Amino acid sequence: MSRSRLPAEWEVQSGVLLAWPHAGSDWVDTLAVVAPCVAAIVAAISRFEQVVLVVDHAEQVKPFLLAAGVQLERVRMIALPTNDTWVRDFGAITIEEEGRFRLLDFNFNGWGLKFAANLDNQVSARLHAAGVLGSSPMTSPGLILEGGSIDSDGAGTILTTADCLLSINRNAHMSQAEIEQQLRGLLGADRFLWLHHGHLAGDDTDSHIDILARFATPDTIIHMHCDDADDEHYAEFAAMQSELQAFRTAAGEPYRLVALPWPKAKVNSDGDLVAPSYANFLIINGAVLVPTYKDAADTGALALIAACFPGREVIGIDSTALIEQGGSLHCMTMQFPQGVLA
């Protein structure tokens, strides 16, 4: 049986998948502000690599892309119906098997049956059938799993959260040990680092790891931190930091931990708290795209992340429009390793 490996995000990529917000989604009332934000993300990525952009009507999208300075020759627009834009969670996950790639199309059920996902759940299969995702085979494991719920060091260690993977509305028939067994085979994982703390107010994902803590190298973890004892996140983030401090690398050493600052509380147009996180950055070829929130903490977060990725350009993207619907920059994207995309 071939040995699988889930590549780290910092490995060389062939391109990134995004889905354009449209009037048939929850973005209908904020399209005027979210469209330029997504266009800015596409523009930044297209400087370094290919973009596959799922759209409803390409001609409506092009003016936003041109206004953002997008290199259109590096963007492939594909017309497909979607419920929403969070391709990190319904996009195919790429694994490597002895130098070749396989696409895993996990089931997506709207973050534990919270939102409609019937169209999003078909996007990867439709892209693959159209040849957009290259010639690598695609399989559907039959497991409910979102890309934002796992982070890989590229060497067999998976960082994740118990709140999400053990959610009763995802794989209730499976125990933690059974889920680990499945993912060992599918992702080639040797070790699982489970966080039990770190919930964010306004988070619909049941504590996705990509808004809490991320690998920057196999021995470095970047994580959110709150130093305001009066903030509702203080105790949870302190407990999460204690868990991170107790984790060990495959070599048995403590991880180097980099604590990101906590921005001021943000609310959406309904007055509900939303979940801004600097940990929701995207690593691409030659750069790291970091969400910013028009907050005093933005500058410090950019500097800390830049120090973790020497040699890569760090690009801040104003993501205040994205958190209106509960996600951020990394949630909008799914990368594919070099050699995958057509």
pLDDT tens string 15-56: 999 999 999 999 999 999 999 999 999 999 999 999 999 999
Place of tokens 């699982």: 192
The residue whose two tokens read 């009763």 is: 168
Is the model's pLDDT at 304 over the cut of 60? yes
Mean pLDDT of 177-193: 96
Number of other CB atoms surrounding residue 135 within 10 Å: 11
Collect all residues with Cβ–Cβ distance below 8 Å to 72 and sequence separation of at least 6: 62, 65, 66
H or E stretch at 34: helix 31-46
Query: At 77, phi and psi to the nearest 5?
Result: -95, 130
Q: What is the largest CA-CA distance in the chain?
A: 54
Identify the CATH number of the domain defined by range 4-337.
3.75.10.10
Span 109-148, pLDDT tens digits: 999 999 999 999 999 999 999 999 999 999 999 999 999 9
End-to-end CA distance of the chain: 27
pTM of the model: 0.96
Residues 165-183 have pLDDT tens digits of 999 999 999 999 999 999 9
Provide the pLDDT for residue 129.
Answer: 97
Distance CA 202, CA 270 (A): 12
Once rounded to an integer, what is the mean pLDDT over residues 181-209? 95
DSSP, residue by residue, 189-255? -SEEEEE-----TT-SSSS-GGGTEEEEETTEEEEE----TTSTTHHHHHHHHHHHHH-B-TTSPBP
pLDDT digits (tens, 9 = 90+) for 245-262: 999 999 999 999 999 999
The string of pLDDT tens digits covering residues 56-75 is 988 999 999 999 999 899 99
> What are the residue ranges spanned by the domains of the chain?
4-337
